[in-house]
Amino acid sequence: MLKNPLLILTLTAFSGISAGCASRGPAYVAPPRLALPAIATQPCKLDLLPEAPTQGDLRASYALRGEGLVICDAARDLAVQTLVAERDLQDRWREETAPKRGWWPF
């Protein structure tokens, strides 16, 4: 049995401090996300030739397919730019929310 009241008080205070810190876990905050534009999620639409194409159908389809490819490439480029921007934003967020480590390891 411990006879020193100061030692009992010290041990009680230390156990209370330890228990209080141990019960708190790290707060989880989700990293930032960007919304992908709707045009980047739609499938590409390319013109198809009719059953018996004429020379005019071929010319019109050639122009429409070119337009469809330009739109599809722009949508893909927009999706890639959004992804790169989101990753940059998340990297900056991780750097800002990372625990600061000093000379004390805890």
pTM: 0.60
**72 band by pLDDT with thresholds 50, 70 and 90:** very high
Question: For residue 78, is pLDDT > 90?
Answer: yes
Question: What CA–CA distance (Å, rounded) separates 13 from 21?
Answer: 13
- Name the phi and psi angles at 24, rounded to 5: -90, 125
Tell me how far apart the alpha carbons of residues 68 and 43 are, in angstroms, rounded to a whole number: 11
Domain extent listing, the chain: 54-97
pLDDT value of residue 10: 74
